[in-house]
Structure 1
């Protein structure tokens, strides 16, 4: 199967899985009858870990709130099985800068989970990263497709384990708000704008946009661009082989401006969107009954973790549909977090081995808001039909997916708050009519970061 055909097949598989769950027939909190293990049920271990009594490890990631709490359950199991103790050290974006400071101070964490491919490349270039050991490599070869292994490699050497993946082409919606307005999930961009118009006219702003977090705006752009310009152009722009002043970028920004330019579509208007951080963008969509702050919010499968902080139930009150097709095909953008050892220790390699196993992924899958690229994870581990459908579509895609464009870029352009693409798109949200100015700023920053 060609890459383009498989990309289309993934979109179709994801749409099928989500439409089947988004009708309200999903079970919300529990799985299919008899398929999901109970919370306390013992699971057979799929990987042997060394005994590490008294060893102390530190792990860093840019995770907070429930995502961090759920990962703590994974670390607790590692402690139980090895006798080591593990401390979680919250990192700040850009994580490369954070790690550079820790390393310069002689206190690097043993393992870091990096949210960008560019950050992995930087860690290797700076000689911080340790190659993956034989035990972790064996888990990778048994449990991961070649594409996910290659994403964790630099110049042919395996440095990372992709512990967490994400389908970043999803729109979550408040079922009561949609029902009250008589709106159905849209399949095309034109239908999305029509639905937004109807929702806003009914008294509920259509979309909650997390404009305070620039990374969410890069995801908006990437989905529009991938669907409209196509995968070949997407790959070229991701590598800066075409300029951000290209007409395809102009077209995508103009299209995105059709939504961002309607203040009545945005929760809190333009100023409200620019002041809204990601967690709030989700929770305000699923509080307030049929009159929430907004009727829908765009982001990946991990949104489920934030929905869990409200009274809404995934599969009942909170439903989901694939990002609408802007061009001929609906987009499917993936992301992920790669675990890398920063110390040449037995404990760091043992933790990488555990994170590459089905044992670790199964724990966090059961907590919700998490999808693993590990094909050995039983789909029954996921807590509801919606998340099972997302996981199945990811695994079915194999190696044929498009990875988050900003995460592939140098961190200075694609992964730094207040700079590069994040800042340019925040400025665009503030003034969506300035397409040419946005393109010029993006190209100037990209040329500097890529060195060309």
Structure 2
């Protein structure tokens, strides 16, 4: 799934370098790398895997699973869960048909699964790979009460604003450094004939990402952490202020392509199409690094030339936000072949596995042992380098809605997703929206 989730990145210097980088091709990676070197120890066994990915992401992850098969002999079967991973997995466990491995896109869901007693701790081999190749923050994200359950295989950079260089050049504007300048530049783009932003309001998770970047920059990391843990109420003045700031964008028909009504009927791939498709309707689209995969794979854009990004800019004098996310692999106790599932996690912890998807594109690994040459273009290489460099940075924060219980931060048509969609539809009363968010959060966190 093309999500935040789908998100540690920092280093605006590295990002700035990436803006002018041109794409370059790399040699394809064979499944498992070279002769695979496997002993086929799992021949005849099968591993079932569930995750939110579909489309291009599912296709590319299948290449990783095929590499595992080539190395171990184990067959794999992947099932796309849709957005509601928690509901999907819970029903499968209850029905006696649990997957062996789940790729969990939300920190809150991983914690929920662990609290339910559904997960098997990572093996010594997998944990050693995490200790050797990953920054400590990723081990912390994958741990619950000191026990490591999740391996972060795929990471996402959630603080990038993608744009058409032609659109900005035609309007005579440059990549902005502040949020206020971004809106000003957007209005200039609009005056030149295109809307400023394509907003994927049909997918509520994109709206949580908008909020998180504004809030982190405006309120700072300490309040961000407190709100993420619901130690700070959503009715706090800092939340109302961030909603007010975001509402200035949402209510401006000059800035949002087609206004709120069209935004609410636009999904994430559609939002990218409106900027990089054959008939552009907007100059910019905010979302994570995975925008590049859609722009390249579906619309043939050369990343770094036809499609560029600038870091999400600082808001009201704050620091530029750095929001991350990622998908963690976990082993389900109730799976029919959890033992082979753990072998899959041990494979996913290797740079060999990450390199398969890295070469295919649309992927960042938090594994510092993945060679830069594994990535197919200079922009992704620079972004991956900043991901690794950000591992020990206190400025980086994990996607807030992904840290929340799924009922609040990760359920289609409910909780934060729906409330922010309603806010996009009518942003006139930020205080009322904050009260709705607090009521929904209180119920979800108690549950």
Aligned to 2:137, what secondary structure does the other structure show? Answer: helix
1:429 equivalent to 2:424? Answer yes
Task: Tell me the residue number matched to 1:16.
Answer: 13
Whether the 8 Å contact between 2:226 and 2:232 is mirrored in structure 1 is yes
1:442 equivalent to 2:432? Answer no
Supply the distance in 1 between the matched residues of 2:164 and 2:361 (Cα, whole angstroms): 18
The aligned runs of 1:44-193 (5 Å cut-off) are: 51-193=41-183
Task: Tell me the residue number matched to 1:313.
Answer: 302
Post-superposition offset of 1:150: 1.4
Whether the 8 Å contact between 2:366 and 2:388 is mirrored in structure 1 is yes
Task: Tell me the residue number matched to 2:406.
Answer: 411
Task: Tell me the residue number matched to 1:213.
Answer: 203
Post-superposition offset of 1:130: 1.0
Consecutive unaligned residues of structure 2, counting only runs of 5 or more, are 1-7
The aligned runs of 1:240-251 (5 Å cut-off) are: 240-251=230-241
Post-superposition offset of 1:268: 1.9
Post-superposition offset of 1:283: 2.1
Supply the distance in 2 between the matched residues of 1:254 and 1:365 (Cα, whole angstroms): 39
1:396 equivalent to 2:396? Answer no
Q: Output the aligned Cα RMSD.
A: 1.9
Whether the 8 Å contact between 2:272 and 2:291 is mirrored in structure 1 is yes
Post-superposition offset of 1:389: 1.2
Task: Tell me the residue number matched to 2:339.
Answer: 346
Aligned to 1:329, what secondary structure does the other structure show? Answer: coil
Post-superposition offset of 1:67: 0.8
Task: Tell me the residue number matched to 2:287.
Answer: 299
Consecutive unaligned residues of structure 1, counting only runs of 5 or more, are 1-8, 31-35
Evaluate the alpha carbon distance shift between residue 242 and residue 174 of structure 1 in structure 2; reply closer, same or farther with a 3 A threshold.
same
Q: TM-score, normalised by structure 1?
A: 0.92
Post-superposition offset of 1:202: 1.0
Task: Tell me the residue number matched to 2:4.
Answer: none
Whether the 8 Å contact between 2:31 and 2:64 is mirrored in structure 1 is no
Q: Deviations over 1:131-152 (max 9, x none)?
A: 1112212211221122101111
Aligned to 1:263, what secondary structure does the other structure show? Answer: coil
Name which of structure 1's ranges 401-410 and 37-46 shifts more when overlaid on structure 2.
37-46
Post-superposition offset of 1:269: 1.5
Task: Tell me the residue number matched to 1:6.
Answer: none
Task: Tell me the residue number matched to 1:357.
Answer: 350
Task: Tell me the residue number matched to 1:375.
Answer: 368
Aligned residues: 433
Whether the 8 Å contact between 1:169 and 1:223 is mirrored in structure 2 is yes
Task: Tell me the residue number matched to 1:4.
Answer: none
Evaluate the alpha carbon distance shift between residue 49 and residue 425 of structure 1 in structure 2; reply closer, same or farther with a 3 A threshold.
farther
Aligned to 2:392, what secondary structure does the other structure show? Answer: coil
Post-superposition offset of 1:440: 0.8
Evaluate the alpha carbon distance shift between residue 178 and residue 337 of structure 1 in structure 2; reply closer, same or farther with a 3 A threshold.
same
Supply the distance in 1 between the matched residues of 2:74 and 2:28 (Cα, whole angstroms): 27
Q: Deviations over 1:179-216 (max 9, x none)?
A: 11112111101110111101111110111111001110
Name which of structure 1's ranges 365-374 and 279-288 shifts more when overlaid on structure 2.
279-288
Evaluate the alpha carbon distance shift between residue 334 and residue 10 of structure 1 in structure 2; reply closer, same or farther with a 3 A threshold.
closer
Q: TM-score, normalised by structure 2?
A: 0.93
1:386 equivalent to 2:379? Answer yes
Aligned to 2:120, what secondary structure does the other structure show? Answer: coil
Aligned to 1:339, what secondary structure does the other structure show? Answer: strand
Evaluate the alpha carbon distance shift between residue 296 and residue 234 of structure 1 in structure 2; reply closer, same or farther with a 3 A threshold.
same
Evaluate the alpha carbon distance shift between residue 126 and residue 300 of structure 1 in structure 2; reply closer, same or farther with a 3 A threshold.
same
Whether the 8 Å contact between 1:29 and 1:315 is mirrored in structure 2 is no
Post-superposition offset of 1:361: 0.7
Whether the 8 Å contact between 2:410 and 2:417 is mirrored in structure 1 is yes
Task: Tell me the residue number matched to 1:283.
Answer: 273
Post-superposition offset of 1:69: 0.8
Q: Deviations over 1:360-390 (max 9, x none)?
A: 1111111111111111101111111111111
Whether the 8 Å contact between 1:136 and 1:356 is mirrored in structure 2 is yes
Post-superposition offset of 1:40: 5.4
- Within the candidate set 318, 332, 342, 1:328 is matched to 318
The aligned runs of 1:4-43 (5 Å cut-off) are: 11=10, 13=11, 15-23=12-20, 26-30=21-25, 36-39=26-29, 43=33
Whether the 8 Å contact between 2:290 and 2:362 is mirrored in structure 1 is yes
